[in-house]
Amino acid sequence: MSTTDRIEITDLHLRTIIGINPEERENRQDVLINIILYVDSRPAAQSDDISDSANYRTITKEIIKLVENSQFYLIEKMAAEIATICLNSHQVERVSVNVQKPTALRFAKSVGITIERTNKSSWQQ
């Protein structure tokens, strides 16, 4: 059963090696990450127990570890890896991940991608 309840992680600001140009492979750059976890919050609301919810603190720690210890060439790959981490929480039915790279273009504030992925097992009837 799908739901529209959302847990939002907003403006997670991290530094990592990202890019295809040689200078981008040497120095860490800022990335800004926004995540929406689509969950059914009713069990957690009823029990008031974290085990009945998507533990966003644990998920965020895993994302920080991934991003800060990785060296991606593309923000597309980074976003997909972040989505995989989020979907490993069985309470997460769907995830939307937005990754922004503020230094990507000279005259633009930022360049980014938003992807959505589904935990197919949670959508089965």
Cα 36 → chain centroid: 8
Q: Are 81 and 25 in contact (CB under 8 A)?
A: no
How far apart (Å, rounded) are the C-alpha atoms in residues 81 and 65?
A: 12
Q: Beta strands 92-101 and 111-118: pairing type?
A: antiparallel
Encoded tokens for 43: 């069990």
Known active-site residue 101: yes
d(CA 56, CA 37): 9
Catalytic residue among 77, 101, 109, 120: 101
The residue written with tokens 């360049």 in the block is 111
Which positions are catalytic? 101
